[in-house]
DNA sequence: CAGCGTCTGTTCGCTAACACACAAAGCCAT
DNA sequence: ATGGCTTTGTGTGTTAGCGAACAGACGCTG
């Protein structure tokens, strides 16, 4: 279902938690506190210890490999369908990637200790997060092929669609510069692809403010990876 | 340590299992049977149910996204440092990728039921496999950047080194055609890169038989991803 | 030893994306 | 309103890798 034109005012839930039995959901929410994440806020850097887990409710974040011998590359976009701090599920407390906030908004936060307690006490939570991990691994291999074979314009269209889903709005903030970092291409490449999309009236943008005008058109331009990744999630966790 | 010039005759163990306490190792080995995998043998296809888990002892396998709108692409190379059937660790019984044998040799095989029993009864096994999963996820993101940014010649050199490690020999079988499928490039691209390496006397090949002549030289040509991926494994599981 | 399939080498034209450099336009603050 | 910063647009030349097609070399098998 395509999001409404305006941000839905209704309170959003995190989809990993919403599907749990009431008891289990209470168990984890009782250990959580609501926080507001600001755009650009950095949640983790490679090599750091993971202090908190986050369950986004109406915000979304990018996980990227930081610029090293290359320019940087997004490996995952997480909204209220996922969580931040997945290594904790496996008992690992060190992250290898940078996480930063793409779209500002509320999330549940709990300490790694609190998360572990909840995980030990709720089999339903553990089972669901295990399924989530499997989806992530498969989405990662999909992203691998996508990044290798598909053109920048298609990959950009895909990113915009995913972002629209996670923003729950057809409007969100992101500059060409940032997109270049996420897609692993030059900023100029983004400008070229984006203006092509704008020329076809699929999107409109202006100084970092992007609006999706024609979602169906974007889907036609995006590679099949868009639908495939979402379908996999729905099939396992939906 | 570089492998010997000839295949080591000593019986190899699977490194995930070898590090377990004796009790736990017995637990899982008692449910396993030794099998010989033949080169080219297909272990799984996308969408299939996972019937068995495998712990390679002296063989190695490729996991690939099958050719779809593109040519195919290797997502993982597994030898006696890993296992086949990782979704089972998360309680998932469906695979999304093709698995086939790259280098023939012995492995332990056990049914998915047997694997689950062992997993339930051995916390040490579960903990170790969880760590393995975390390593895999990180290696996948690394592969993503590598595939995006590095040149074919460097990626080929990396693959040869990884393959040499897993073959425990400086000689193994693989054609340019297969390599093209694994690296996600045209066969011609492999031929070009491989002849460059051969011209510099780093390798020798002839009709699918490849020999590594100068490992240090190959390492110089390969991208840093080679060392990084191995180091991550050693750090967590070594 | 004839024949066929497999494997490797080479060529030609093409294009997506690169690197570098600079211009213009919008927005904010002093 | 002016100067400075951020964001977007454009232009030139280069390159790695693509697609398609073909030729030679090796090795097995009948």
pLDDT value at residue A132: 98
| Pick among 1.10.760.10, 3.40.30.10, 1.10.10.10, 3.40.50.150: CATH of A148-237 | 1.10.10.10
Q: How far is the CA of A42 from the C1' of C22 (A)?
A: 33
User: Which tokens hold the place of A146?
Assistant: 């996508």
Break chain B into its structural domains and give their ranges. Answer: 4-123, 148-237
List pLDDT tens digits, range B69-101. 888 999 999 999 999 999 999 999 999 999 999
User: Which tokens hold the place of A47?
Assistant: 């090599």
Q: Say whether pTM exceeds 0.75.
A: yes
pLDDT at residue B1 is higher than 90: no
For residue B236, give every residue at least 6 positions away whose Cβ sits within 8 Å of its Cβ, in sequence order, or none: A92, B131, B134, B135
Q: What is the mean pLDDT of residues A103-128?
A: 97
Shortest CA gap B130–chain A (Å): 5
Give the mutation candidate from B97, B98, B128, B134 for the A interface (greatest A CB count, under 10 A). B134
Q: Which residues of A touch B148 (CB under 8 A)?
A: 70, 73, 147-148, 184
How many of the other CB atoms lie within 10 Å of CB of B233?
Answer: 18
Length of chain B: 238
Q: Say whether A148-237 and A4-123 share the same fold.
A: no
Record: contact B73-A140, CB cut-off 8 A:
no
For nucleotide D10, the protein residue with its alpha carbon nearest to C1' is A188
pLDDT at residue B8 is higher than 80: no
pLDDT-based confidence at residue B9 (cuts at 50, 70, 90)? low
> How far apart (Å, rounded) are the C-alpha atoms in residues A188 and A49?
35
Give the CATH architecture of domain B4-123.
Answer: Sandwich (2.60)
Q: How many CB pairs under 8 A join A and B?
A: 100
Mean pLDDT of chain B: 94
List pLDDT tens digits, range B130-174. 999 999 999 999 999 999 999 999 999 999 999 999 999 999 999
Tally of CA atoms within 13 A in the half-sphere of A145 that contains its CB: 27
Record: contact B140-A145, CB cut-off 8 A:
no
Record: contact B134-A73, CB cut-off 8 A:
no
List pLDDT tens digits, range B21-50. 999 999 999 999 999 999 999 999 999 999
Q: What is the mean pLDDT of residues A110-115?
A: 98
Record: contact B137-A86, CB cut-off 8 A:
yes
CB A180 within 8 A of CB A71: yes
């Amino acid at each position: 279902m395509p999001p409404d034109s305006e941000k839905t005012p209704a309170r959003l839930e995190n989809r990993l938690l919403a599907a749990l039995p009431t008891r289990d959901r209470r168990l984890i929410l009782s250990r959580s506190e609501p926080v507001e994440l600001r755009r650009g806020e950095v949640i983790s850097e490679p090599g750091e210890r993971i202090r908190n887990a986050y369950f986004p409710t109406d915000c979304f974040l990018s996980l990227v490999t930081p610029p090293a011998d290359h320019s940087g590359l997004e490996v995952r976009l997480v909204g209220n369908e996922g969580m931040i701090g997945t290594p904790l599920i496996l008992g690992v407390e060190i992250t290898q990637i940078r996480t930063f906030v793409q779209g500002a908004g509320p999330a549940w936060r709990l300490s790694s200790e609190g998360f572990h307690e909840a995980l030990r006490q709720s089999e339903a939570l553990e089972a669901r997060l295990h399924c989530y991990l499997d989806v992530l691994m498969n989405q990662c291999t999909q992203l691998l092929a996508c990044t290798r074979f598909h053109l920048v314009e298609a990959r950009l269209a895909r990113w915009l669609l995913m972002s629209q889903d996670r923003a729950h709005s057809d409007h969100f903030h992101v500059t060409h510069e940032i997109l270049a970092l996420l897609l692993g291409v030059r900023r100029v490449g983004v400008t070229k692809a984006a203006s092509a999309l704008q020329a076809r009236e699929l999107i409109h943008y202006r100084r970092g403010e992007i609006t999706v005008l024609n979602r169906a058109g974007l889907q036609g331009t995006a590679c099949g990876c868009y639908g495939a990744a979402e379908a996999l999630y729905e099939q396992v966790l939906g």
